[in-house]
Structure 1
Amino acid sequence: MSVQRAERFEALLAEDEDLRRLVDGGWIRYRTSPALQELTWDAHATCARINRTYYDDPVEAQRLFEELIPGAGTGIDFRPPISIDYGMRIRIGDRTFINADFLVIGGGLVTIGSDCLIGPRCAIYTPNHAEDLERRLDGWELPEAVTIGNNVWLGGSVTITPGVTIGDNSIIGAGSVVTRDIPAGVVAVGNPCRPVRPIAAAG
C-alpha cells in the first residue's frame, strides 16, 4: 500500500465507525458507509487499470497489483481480469498462481497460502447479510474470513462462501461450491463440496 493510500486509510478509520467494525470483525453497513464505498471504488478502479495495462505493460500491472494487495508475497503470477473489493484485506503467499476472472467480494479477511493454483473464474465471497428482515433492510452484513492453505488447487469456477477454511494440499474440483471447511490432503468436489478421497501418494 502506498504512503498516500495508508494515510487515507488511517484518516477514514478515525472517522468511520463501519470501517472500524470491519477491521474488528463486526457487523457493518456498507450501503451507508462513505469510507467503505470510497475504499471499494478505489480498489475497483485499480483493478480496472491492472486489467487494461497487463499485456501492454506487465511491470506496471504487477506494481499496481502489489500496491492494491500489500499482503501479497513474492513470485505471485496472475492473469487478468481481476475484481477485488478490499485489497488490504487479502493475504497471498509466495509463488501462488491466479488465473483469469478472479473475484473477491466483501471485506472479510482472505488468506491464500503459498504455492496455490487458483483456476479461472474462481470467486471468494466473504459477506453474510442479516437473516432478520428488518436488519437486512437496514443494510447489515457480517464479513467472515476465508482461509486457503498452502499448495491448494482450486479448479475452474470454484465458489467459496463466507467463513470457510480449506486445508493444506487439498484439491477442489471444478465447479464446486465450498460451503463448509475442507480438511487438508483431500480431493473434494460438488455442491455442496465434500471430500471424496485422500490425495494419492506419489509413486
Structure 2
Amino acid sequence: MTSELDKLKAGDWYCFADEKVAARKARAAKLCQEFNAIPATEPERQTKKMQEILGSYGEHLSVQANFNCDYGKNIHVGHDFLSNYNLTILDMAPVQIGNNVMIGPNCGIYTVNHPMIPSGRRKYLARAKPVVIGNDVWFGGSVTVLPGVTIGNNVVIAAGAVVTKDVSDNTLVAGVPAKPIRKLSQD
C-alpha cells in the first residue's frame, strides 16, 4: 500500500491529516516559532536558525520574522536571498529559489492545493506541486504565488499580484491574476 508521504512526493492526492505528514508540519512549526522568537537585534542567531529550517541555502541569507513554512526542508534558496517581514512558504512540494531574490513583506508561496469538491476536503486531501523562482527576481509586498508556477529570471512581481501561471524571463507582471505588463531590461 502506498503511504501518504509517497503520494505527496508523487504529486498525487494525499491525506494531510496523516501522522507522518502532520509530523513534518509540527517540526516546521516548532522551528519557525523558535526563529520568530529571536530578537531582530540578533541577526546571526536568526540566520543560524533559518539555516536549520531550510533544505539548502547560499551565501548572504536574510529572512525577517515572522516566517512560517510547512516543512522547510523542501525550500532551497540561492545566494543573496532577502525576505522582508511575514513570509509564508507552504513547501509540501519543493520550492526552488534562485540567486539575488528579494521578497517584500506579507508574501506567500504555496505548493499545496485542496479539492474543489466537498467530499475531497472532508477527507483532508491535498496535492502539492513544485514552485520554481529564477535569479534576479523581486516580489513587491503581498504577492501570492500558487502551486506549480515557474517564475523566470529577471522578473518583477508588482505588489498585490496573485501569480497563477508561469512568468517568462525579463517580465514585469501585476494584477489578480497576474498578467505581463512589459518586458524588462537585463542591465
TM-score between the two structures when normalised by the length of structure 2: 0.93
List aligned pairs for 1:119-138, cutoff 5 A: 119-138=104-123
Matched, 1:19 2:5: yes
CA distance in 2, matches of 1:201, 1:166: 16
Distance apart, 1:78 and its partner CA = 1.4
Q: How does 1:1-203 map to 2 (within 5 A)?
A: 17-31=3-17, 33-200=18-185, 202=187
Select the structure of larger CA radius of gyration. Answer: 1
Cα offset for 1:141?
1.2
User: Is the deviation greater in 166-175 or in 65-74?
Assistant: 65-74
What is the SS of the residue equivalent to 2:48? helix
Q: Distance in 1 between matches of 2:186 and 2:54?
A: 35
Tell me the SS of whatever aligns to 2:73: helix
Q: TM-score when scaled to structure 1?
A: 0.86
| Runs of 4+ with deviation above 6 angstroms | none
Matched with 1:7 is none
1:86 Cα deviation after fit: 0.8
The question of whether the paired residues in 1 share the 8 Å contact of 2:91 and 2:112 is answered with yes
Tell me the CA shift for residue 17 of structure 1: 1.3
CA distance in 2, matches of 1:160, 1:192: 10
For residues 3-26 of structure 1, the C-alpha deviation after alignment (integer angstroms, 9 at most, x for no partner) is xxxxxxxxxxxxx91122223332
> Structure 1: where are the runs of 5+ without partners?
1-15
Q: How far 1:49 sits from its partner (Å)?
A: 0.8
Please list every run of 5 or more consecutive structure 2 residues that lacks an aligned counterpart in the other structure: none
Q: Report the Cα offset of residue 106 of structure 1.
A: 4.6
Distance in 2 of aligned mates of 1:17 and 1:103: 27
Q: State the alpha-carbon separation in 2 of the partners of residues 54 and 28 from structure 1.
A: 37
Q: How many residues align?
A: 187
Partners of 1:74 and 1:21 lie apart in 2 by 33
The RMSD of aligned alpha carbons is: 1.8
- In structure 1, C-alpha distance between the alignment counterparts of 2:50 and 2:22, rounded to whole Å: 20
